[in-house]
Structure 1
Amino acid sequence: MCNQTQQTHLYFHLLDPEKHYLSVSEIINETKSLLRLAFPIILTGLILYSRSIISMLFLGHLGDIELAAGSLAIAFANITGYSVLSGLALGMEPLCSQAFGAQKPKLLSLTLHRYIVFLLFISILISFLWVNMFNIFVYLHQDPNITRIGQKYLFFALPDLFTQSLFHPIRIYLRAQGITHPVTLSTLISTVLHLPINLLLVSQFGFGVAGVAASASISNFFVLVSLVVYVWTAGLHEPTWEKPSFECLTGWRPLLKLAAPSCVSVCLEWWWYEIMIVLCGLLVNPKATVASMGILIQTTSLIYVFPSSLSFAVSTRVGNELGANRPYKARLSAVVAVFVSTMMGLSASTFASSMKDKWAMMFTSDSEILRLTSIALPILGLCELGNCPQTVGCGVLRGSARPSTAANVNLGAFYLVGMPVAVGLGFFLGFGFSGLWLGLLSAQVCCAGLMLYVVGSTDWDLQAKRAQMLTCVDSKLLDDCDESKGDEQEPLDSFRGDFGLLN
């Protein structure tokens, strides 16, 4: 409408004050776009969360030693396997989303093929580590009986490494194109099958811990197969699909420069919670503190589904818009996502505080565990005020191909600020269990502040130019870009020195 500027608008002076403002209609439209992408991802996260609860219930039903062994094996698998594969896979997100926005389907498909080959190779390396878990933990003076059972769990979980090496790239390849519902449907199908598979292998055949691990592997394989079948039969791949070729075995430098810092960023955050459990074991009454920490980590994992889903959505939106050379739209998506994440943080904080005296009762009746959880839940809620914007900020940085910046922020906030505060308060100033969570709070506040500063000071015009260069990295293969092969690394050079920690 030619008279559009006269309609009722509420302008926010949040973008370039000389060029752009945000109107209510723009905010509403962008919010709809983000939520349209995020909602199926949220459903997928909740479905996967329920499936992990089923596995833990079956482990607990087997007995205390099986639960301890399964928990130890799962922690080892998370640290050495799943976090690594997930983090490395996120390196393809800016390449795929920007290639889709730039309408370069061959680069999108080629990136998928390269990452599958790359993750399969990494899975082989990880598998050697998993089959030697028993020797590693015995060397670290862990209980041989628990470790032996944990080794059995990992042995039957090995196929899942290769399943995830295919699933993660396919999911990101689809999400970069705004296609999220097939993953949700496939995950739902596997979760419906997860319970009967566990009943069959664990209860009927008596395979114990091995049955729980095999059930998880089989369920994930069903996810992969049903996803591929759905996408292929529906023809969702056709607009961007290219047949695999030997080209996917070349041009890995940009891939590695994006994958490595993405992996570091994810692992730094995942490993923090594992370290927290170890620190709980050093406090007075470790049985209660470790159990309470387990409940709280399950709680924060549930809450994390929502900001992480929004993070994936904004990463796709920012990448698509930068690839299409629309910096204003990318900036709009980033600002709106931060606002929505703030609302999520307020909701999560309210939920955690209101449930502080009731939540732990769903897991235990032990009075000491209930007391510790009640003390920590309000602190956990305050952590979410920082965690939600920080998580979404990471998504913005991924979409603009700046994973090194995210890794630097996580390293500085969690390990240079949060860890010293947690150890100091928890062990030297007498705060104990709550001191560890206050350390996490300090990390989240620092992380959110740094992330918002980085996002708020972004030169979006420059990022759009970098996106045009990044999508021309494979210039010899695309035939539509004049970039020379010797300039391949230029789009990635600006990652270096952002914080001076990871270059």
Structure 2
Amino acid sequence: MESGEEVCQTLLPGLDSNGQIPELSSEAVEEILSHRPVALRWYPRLVGWESRLLWILSWASIFVSVFNYMLSFVTLMYTGHLGALELAGASVACVGIQGLAYGIMLGMASAVQTVCGQSYGARRYETMGVICQRAIVLHIGAAILLTFLYWYSGSALKAIGQSVSIAEQGQIFARGLIPQLYAFSISCPMQRFLQAQNIVNPLAYIAVGVFLLHILLTWVAVCALNYGLLGAALTLSLSWWLLVIIQGLYILFSPSCKQTWTGFSAKAFRGLWPYFKLTAASAVMLCLEIWYNQGLVLISGLLSNPTIALDSISICMNYLTWDIEFMLGLAAATSVRVSNELGAGHPMVAKFSVVVVTTTTTLISIIFSSIVLIFKVGLSKLFTSDSQVIDAVSNLTPLLAISVLLNGIQPILSGVAIGSGWQGVVAYVNLVTYYVIGLPIGCVLGFKTSLGVAGIWWGMIVGVLLQTVTLIILTARTNWNTEVAKAADRLKKSANEEALDLVDTI
């Protein structure tokens, strides 16, 4: 049997006749990592190979995640200059209503990422289009149910303790977001379908283009035409529909999707219930994460002086969400890398990818945390000119910096969970760490001490820290050979077009 050093010398040769380093393959790296020990001098080459693949996927995924989120970010910036009450109403609607839908849709779409990613790694392309269509059907069904919440959002916000004036403004904004709800229900599965097959650059170009147009459209609606809060919400809905239309045209007519998209199929309507159980586990996992942060914003509206409390924590949460969206781009790339390698039968490469991306994101988060602390006053002035809100935001920025640092690991490990199909397990972890431990701590510190908003945020930090530690332990204890076997079994049952309804083996 060859030693690790002999395998490295064979599979990691020096420069070729043209002075270039030969390109590695996943098969070669799997072979190298399977022969231990591997000398330290070979690791820079391996890390460089994995980092290159990761960033080819990540840069575009980050652009998609960040610029899609920036659509709402820009809208809130404009509403903030309409007045503190309008900003509070729009923020509550984004958090309590739109955030609810966002968690459900994004969570359901992670099932597409798991099954399509592993199918692509195993080169079983024909099932991917049907899975995407089935996901869209289920997403639209969820959107129909959520429409009632959007329409009666004022009553819902009052029921959870928001003031009448804030709830009324929130309802105006939420009703304008109903078209956006349906656009989101279609866009989420399409994005995951494309990302699973490493088609990310077109998604990035589309996201940036629509974002730039959205800035102009929002200025026209809010500033030039004075359409106010409703105009801002409807403009956001329009921009999301532009995303859907352009992404749909790309899938239908691009040669890149020729093997994975073979046209609309009635098979998308078969096996909806078993597939719903799969998407439900995915939705619960991510919903518990997303709703935790957003629930704390809603709780802050119950404090004394709710307008200042809501505005300050909403501004900080917007920046935290921006950071989360950046990391979600990396997490999406990690999910694709892990699911592709598991589908291809490469457990050691999947494990190696997790180590590389976690180290990378930790270093990035240290930089982001430093930026938050340095520019804490300037960040608040982008949203408001109210001195009280600016002071409140400045007081929260040290906690924001801690949260940013934790987000260098937590979303990435969630991406690993999605790529591996652990959604059900992580859902229980999120339930305990966030809602059984973190949320009660935040409520006690926020309402029973003088900390106020800061106390609520400390509760969030405790929950995220515990969840992160738990995910680290789960990932470290993972048997990646077993995960490959699970992926192979899942894909075997998906391969037969008549047995597509059996993909609920996760």
Tell me the TM-score normalised to structure 1 length.
0.87
> Which one-letter code corresponds to 2:505 in the other structure?
P
> What CA distance in whole angstroms lies between the structure 2 residues aligned with 1:225 and 1:214?
17
> Which one-letter code corresponds to 1:337 in the other structure?
V
> What CA distance in whole angstroms lies between the structure 2 residues aligned with 1:147 and 1:371?
25
SS in structure 2 at match of 1:179: coil
Which residue is 2:243 aligned to?
223
Q: Residues 71 and 328 from structure 1, CA distance in 2 versus in 1: closer, same or farther, beyond 3 angstroms?
A: same
Which residue is 1:399 aligned to?
419
Tell whether 2:346 aligns with 1:326: yes
Tell whether 2:87 aligns with 1:44: no
Q: CA RMSD in A?
A: 3.0
Tell whether 2:445 aligns with 1:431: no
Query: Pick from 174, 182, 186: which aligns with 2:206?
Result: 186
SS in structure 2 at match of 1:178: coil
Cα deviation, residue 425, structure 1: 2.8
> What CA distance in whole angstroms lies between the structure 1 residues aligned with 2:96 and 2:302?
19
Q: Residues 237 and 49 from structure 1, CA distance in 2 versus in 1: closer, same or farther, beyond 3 angstroms?
A: same
> What CA distance in whole angstroms lies between the structure 1 residues aligned with 2:160 and 2:7?
72
| Deviation readout 1:27-60 (Å, 9 max, x if unpaired) | 1111111111110122223323443233123323
Query: Pick from 145, 152, 168: which aligns with 2:188?
Result: 168
Which residue is 1:497 aligned to?
none
Q: Residues 307 and 58 from structure 1, CA distance in 2 versus in 1: closer, same or farther, beyond 3 angstroms?
A: closer
Contact residue 182 and residue 231 of structure 1 kept, 8 A:
no
> Which one-letter code corresponds to 1:30 in the other structure?
E
1:228-267 equivalences under 5 Å are: 228-267=248-287
| Deviation readout 1:113-153 (Å, 9 max, x if unpaired) | 11011111111111122223244446667555654554343
Provide structure 1 residue ranges, at least 5 long, that are not aligned to the other structure. 10-14, 479-484, 493-503
Q: Residues 489 and 44 from structure 1, CA distance in 2 versus in 1: closer, same or farther, beyond 3 angstroms?
A: closer
> What CA distance in whole angstroms lies between the structure 2 residues aligned with 1:96 and 1:205?
44
Which residue is 1:491 aligned to?
505
Q: Residues 374 and 468 from structure 1, CA distance in 2 versus in 1: closer, same or farther, beyond 3 angstroms?
A: same
| Deviation readout 1:350-402 (Å, 9 max, x if unpaired) | 22333345543444455544444333322222223322211100000100111
> What CA distance in whole angstroms lies between the structure 2 residues aligned with 1:83 and 1:192?
25
Query: Pick from 491, 494, 497: which aligns with 1:471?
Result: 491
Cα deviation, residue 293, structure 1: 0.8
Contact residue 107 and residue 471 of structure 1 kept, 8 A:
no
Which residue is 2:135 aligned to?
115
Cα deviation, residue 301, structure 1: 1.5
Cα deviation, residue 466, structure 1: 0.4
> What CA distance in whole angstroms lies between the structure 1 residues aligned with 2:246 and 2:464?
38
> What CA distance in whole angstroms lies between the structure 1 residues aligned with 2:385 and 2:171?
31
| Deviation readout 1:455-480 (Å, 9 max, x if unpaired) | 111110000010011112234417xx
Which residue is 1:345 aligned to?
365
Greater RCO structure (CA 8 Å; 6+ sep): 2
Contact residue 251 and residue 474 of structure 1 kept, 8 A:
no
> What CA distance in whole angstroms lies between the structure 2 residues aligned with 1:218 and 1:286?
31
Cα deviation, residue 324, structure 1: 0.8
Contact residue 442 and residue 458 of structure 2 kept, 8 A:
yes
Query: Pick from 434, 457, 464: which aligns with 1:444?
Result: 464
> What CA distance in whole angstroms lies between the structure 2 residues aligned with 1:425 and 1:389?
26
Which residue is 2:18 aligned to?
none
Contact residue 97 and residue 149 of structure 2 kept, 8 A:
no
Which residue is 1:28 aligned to?
48
Contact residue 352 and residue 377 of structure 1 kept, 8 A:
yes
> What CA distance in whole angstroms lies between the structure 1 residues aligned with 2:107 and 2:419?
14
Query: Pick from 294, 312, 330: which aligns with 2:314?
Result: 294
> What CA distance in whole angstroms lies between the structure 2 residues aligned with 1:104 and 1:128?
39
> Which one-letter code corresponds to 2:136 in the other structure?
I
Q: Residues 209 and 379 from structure 1, CA distance in 2 versus in 1: closer, same or farther, beyond 3 angstroms?
A: closer
> Which one-letter code corresponds to 1:248 in the other structure?
A
Stretch deviating more after TM superposition (231-240 or 144-153): 144-153
SS in structure 2 at match of 1:406: helix
Contact residue 315 and residue 396 of structure 1 kept, 8 A:
yes
Query: Pick from 439, 454, 476: which aligns with 1:456?
Result: 476
> What CA distance in whole angstroms lies between the structure 2 residues aligned with 1:199 and 1:275?
30
Which residue is 2:26 aligned to?
none
Which residue is 2:434 aligned to?
414
Tell me the TM-score normalised to structure 2 length.
0.86
> What CA distance in whole angstroms lies between the structure 2 residues aligned with 1:66 and 1:16?
58
> What CA distance in whole angstroms lies between the structure 1 residues aligned with 2:156 and 2:464?
32
Cα deviation, residue 316, structure 1: 0.3
> What CA distance in whole angstroms lies between the structure 1 residues aligned with 2:143 and 2:469?
35
Q: Residues 136 and 423 from structure 1, CA distance in 2 versus in 1: closer, same or farther, beyond 3 angstroms?
A: closer
1:300-315 equivalences under 5 Å are: 300-315=320-335
Which residue is 1:498 aligned to?
none
Cα deviation, residue 272, structure 1: 1.9
Stretch deviating more after TM superposition (19-28 or 391-400): 19-28
